[in-house]
Structure 1
Amino acid sequence: METTQTLRLEIEKSIQFLEYAPHFTMDHGECTRRKWDGAWWHMAALYEMGEVRRIPQSSIERAKYLLKTQVWPTFIISEDDGPSSERDKLKMDCCHCELAVFYMILTAYGCDLDKELPWIREWLLKHQLPDGGLNCDPEAYTHSRKSSIVSTLPPLEAILLHTNREFTVQEAVFLDEGARYLIEHRLVCSKQKGDIIDVEWLKPCFPRFFEYDILRGMFFLAEWSERRNKPLPLEVLNEGMKRLSTSLTAEGVRIGRQIFDPQGPWGGHTFSLLVETSNIGAVSPYLTRQWNRVFELAHMDGGE
């Protein structure tokens, strides 16, 4: 895939930012996460573009150090889960989708996080709800017991796409139950009423970070079927393809929204690489690559 001169320059800007910005020190933990121009977002954008190896090694090491020393390694559901010492109370509390994105970036770079930070994979596998998904709202674990599609996809992707060995029984169940959850929700629908939960999910976005769209769900199901040797849920994928059709052109998948929309709930400062790769209406080579993979697998298996 050809990279334009403008895009190459923006990639270099993010690399320089990560090399020199002091965003991975103990005093800058919140700046690290700051939407949408903190260090993690630069790293996540490069990861989603397939440029993860361009992230400076020094930045990777600082990121791991932050996870090792400045993150509370327990999802706080009840008061007993929280830190007790004053030092630990200063640590960052993470959610499932945030932690999964961190995990994917560092593992794709080549870090052995299952050796260096084994609690992250354990965290993701531990918090699957009975319906097959996860939820970053602690109350879901004590009251509704219902998952969030947004919270579910990054943990599923982390285990499916970043396990370079045979899946354990626990991991296989985790993935299969997660696929069941997506299939039962037909990627974007309420299981009870059958209506679309959020029409914005029908508009592909890039970079996604933790955000969900229908193509992200379709890509997971296609890869899950291939890697787990499970039947492809063709009915669900064909329905998804029809819902996605308005975003397709002869050149590929058009971006339909931006995660950082200033008019939306998550507006904020951005960085130039994020802006360059997220123009609404532009064909995204990165989303198109996922679409081609879904299309290929679906048609190999007899899809429409």
Structure 2
Amino acid sequence: METNQTILLAMEESINFLKSASKYEMTHSENSRRKWDGFWWHMAVLYEMGEVKLIPESAIVTAQDLLENQVWQTFIISIDDHPTSESDKMKLDCCHCELAVFYMILMAYGCDLDKELPWIREWILKHQLPDGGLNCDPEAYTHSRKSSIVSTLPPLEAILWHTDREFTEQEAVFLDEGARYLIEHRLVCSKQNGTVIDTEWLKPCFPRFFEYDILRGMSFLAEWSQRRSKALPVGLLTEGLNRLNTFMDEGGLRVGRQVFDPQGAWDGHTFPLLEAVSGIGDISPYLTGQLEQVIERLGPAFKKI
């Protein structure tokens, strides 16, 4: 895949930023999680570009140390889940989608987090709700019992994409129930009335971090079908392709949305690499590759569209 000069220079700048960041800067919560220019986000963009191996090893080591020593390893649902010691109160409180993104970056780099930090996979698997998804809002576990599509996809991806062995029974159920949740919601729709929950999800987004768009859900279902030997939801994927049609042209799939949209919920400082790969209307080779994988899974069914 050819990479233009602007992106190459921006990649180099992010790599240098990660090399030069001190351990204090990378573990201090205000700097590490600052949207969208903290060190995790530089690493996440490289990961989503398929360039995770360019992340400096020093940054990976520090990131793994942060997860091991600077994160409160319990999702806070009840009063009993809160840290009590002063040192524990200083730790980061993660949510499902955030933790799953961190996990995927380090696993893709080659870290064996299931051996070194087994609590992360255990966390992901234990927080599935009865409807098949997850929710980063603690009240969902004590009141509504309803999941969030946004909160659900990164944990599902973490288990699906980063298990290089046969799935355990618990993992298989987790993935199958997650797929059921997406299918019942037709990727973007309310189960109650069938309307699109958020029209922004119909716009291809890159990079996503832990945000959602319809292609992200389609990609999961296509891979889940193959890995779990389950029937491909052809009609649903076809419907998804039709919804994406306005963003397709002969060159590939165009970016339709920026996660850091100044008019959106997560407005904040950015950095050159994030801006270089997220131009609205630009053809994204990364989104195009994901779309092509979905189309390949559809095979002859795609020709009938």
Q: TM-score, normalised by structure 1?
A: 0.98
- Residues 288 and 26 from structure 1, CA distance in 2 versus in 1: closer, same or farther, beyond 3 angstroms? closer
The answer as to 2:121 corresponding to 1:116 is: no
For 1:25 and 1:266, locate their aligned partners in 2 and report how far apart those are by CA, in whole Å: 22
- Residues 249 and 169 from structure 1, CA distance in 2 versus in 1: closer, same or farther, beyond 3 angstroms? same
Contact 2:27 2:66 (8 Å CA) reproduced: no
- Residues 26 and 258 from structure 1, CA distance in 2 versus in 1: closer, same or farther, beyond 3 angstroms? closer
For 2:138 and 2:34, locate their aligned partners in 1 and report how far apart those are by CA, in whole Å: 22
The residue aligned with 2:284 is 284
Contact 1:150 1:211 (8 Å CA) reproduced: yes
For 1:17 and 1:83, locate their aligned partners in 2 and report how far apart those are by CA, in whole Å: 33
Q: What residue ranges of structure 2 are gaps of 5+ in the alignment?
A: none
Contact 1:247 1:254 (8 Å CA) reproduced: yes
Aligned length: 304
Please give the residue correspondences for 1:211-230 in structure 2 after superposition, counting only pairs within 5 Å.
Answer: 211-230=211-230
Please give the residue correspondences for 1:2-81 in structure 2 after superposition, counting only pairs within 5 Å.
Answer: 2-22=2-22, 28-81=28-81
Q: Which amino acid aligns with 1:50?
A: G
Q: TM-score, normalised by structure 2?
A: 0.98
Shift of 1:300: 4.6
Cα distance per residue 1:203-248 (max 9 Å; x no partner) = 0110000000000000000000011111100111111111111111
Moved over 6 A (4+): none
For 1:219 and 1:59, locate their aligned partners in 2 and report how far apart those are by CA, in whole Å: 29
The residue aligned with 1:269 is 269
Q: Which amino acid aligns with 2:170?
A: Q
Q: Which amino acid aligns with 2:169?
A: V
The residue aligned with 2:105 is 105
Contact 2:202 2:243 (8 Å CA) reproduced: yes
The residue aligned with 1:194 is 194
Shift of 1:22: 2.2
Contact 1:132 1:174 (8 Å CA) reproduced: yes
Secondary structure in 2 matching 1:221: helix
Shift of 1:259: 0.4
Q: Equivalent pairs: percent with the same residue?
A: 72
Contact 1:26 1:70 (8 Å CA) reproduced: no
Q: What residue ranges of structure 1 are gaps of 5+ in the alignment?
A: none
Please give the residue correspondences for 1:72-151 in structure 2 after superposition, counting only pairs within 5 Å.
Answer: 72-151=72-151
- Residues 263 and 109 from structure 1, CA distance in 2 versus in 1: closer, same or farther, beyond 3 angstroms? same
Cα distance per residue 1:165-214 (max 9 Å; x no partner) = 00000000000000000000000000111100000000011000000000
The answer as to 2:159 corresponding to 1:159 is: yes
For 2:27 and 2:15, locate their aligned partners in 1 and report how far apart those are by CA, in whole Å: 21
For 2:258 and 2:103, locate their aligned partners in 1 and report how far apart those are by CA, in whole Å: 23
Shift of 1:28: 1.6
Contact 2:248 2:254 (8 Å CA) reproduced: yes
For 2:33 and 2:134, locate their aligned partners in 1 and report how far apart those are by CA, in whole Å: 21
Secondary structure in 1 matching 2:249: coil
Q: Which amino acid aligns with 1:185?
A: H
Cα distance per residue 1:243-301 (max 9 Å; x no partner) = 11111111111000100011111100000000000000000000000000001101256
Contact 1:247 1:255 (8 Å CA) reproduced: yes
Q: Which amino acid aligns with 1:109?
A: Y
Q: Which amino acid aligns with 1:203?
A: K
The residue aligned with 2:171 is 171
The residue aligned with 1:295 is 295
